[in-house]
A and B are shown apart, each in its own frame.
Chain A
Amino acid sequence: DAGVIQSPRHEVTEMGQEVTLRCKPISGHDYLFWYRQTMMRGLELLIYFNNNVPIDDSGMPEDRFSAKMPNASFSTLKIQPSEPRDSAVYFCASSLGYLEQFFGPGTRLTVL
C-alpha cells in the first residue's frame, strides 16, 4: 500500500484565493483526520470522519474552512478565502477503527 497520499505537497497562494487540499486514505480504513501544524499552536485536529461522515469538526477554526469526504477513498479540505494566518502544514491521517493513525506527508501551505 502506498500509504496516505496528499496533494499538493506544497501550495503557495495569495490572500483571498481559494485553496483545496486533497487526501487519499489507506484503502480499507474507516477513519480520516485532518490536522494543522504551526510553530505557535503545534498539531491541532481540525475535523475527523468515520465512514465518510463528519463526526467532530470542533477544531475547524472558522467558516472559511470546510471539509468533505464524498467517498471512502477521497477527502478535501478547502479554505475560502485564504488568509496569511492559514499558512501551516496540513496533515491528513487515516486509521482502521481505534488503531494506529497513519499520517500522510503533509501539504505545506503558504498564503502571501
Chain B
Amino acid sequence: AQSVTQLDSHVSVSEGTPVLLRCNYSSSYSPSLFWYVQHPNKGLQLLLKYTSAATLVKGINGFEAEFKKSETSFHLTKPSAHMSDAAEYFCVVSDPQGAQKLVFGQGTRLTINP
C-alpha cells in the first residue's frame, strides 16, 4: 500500500530564511506525488506535482520539490519564507490501484516568525 510520512509535524522559520518540509514515501510502483497547502479555515490548494517527468518540480509561490527515488523522498523547499506561507502543508501520494485515490500525510504546520 502507498503511504507518506511527513517527518515534522511543525516547522518554524524566520521570514526571509529557507523553508524545508520533509516527506518520505512508500510505494511499490512509480508514484505520483503532490504537495498541497491548506491555509486556516480554507480548502486545500495544489502547490506542485511529480508525475515521472523532471525530478525537480517547480510549483506556485516559489516552492519546489525534488523527487529522489534512492531516498524515497519528496521534500518541499522555498529559498525565502514569506509571512503568507504560514499554513498546513500535506505531502500526498496517488494510489496506483485507483489513480485518483490520494493518500495524505499527516501534515506539517509551517509557522513564519517576523
Q: Which residues of A line the B interface, CB within 8 A? A: 4, 31, 33, 42-45, 48, 50, 55-56, 91, 93, 95, 98, 100-101, 103-106
Contacts and interface: CB of A to CB of B under 8 A. Distances in A.
A91 B43 contact: yes
B100 A106 contact: no
B1 interface: no
B107 to A, nearest CB: 6
Interface in B34-82: 41-46, 49
Contact of A55 (B42, B98, B106): B98
A96 to B, nearest CB: 11
Contact of B100 (A4, A42, A95, A105): A95
Give the secondary structure class of B's interface. strand
B99 to A, nearest CB: 5
B107 A42 contact: yes
22 contacts: A33-B100, A42-B105, A42-B106, A43-B90, A43-B104, A43-B107, A45-B101, A48-B98, A48-B100, A50-B100, A55-B98, A56-B98, A91-B43, A91-B44, A93-B44, A98-B100, A103-B44, A103-B45, A104-B43, A105-B43, A106-B42, A106-B43
Nearest to A97: B100
A105 B102 contact: no
A31 B99 CA distance: 12
B38 to A, nearest CB: 8
Contacts of A48: 98, 100-101
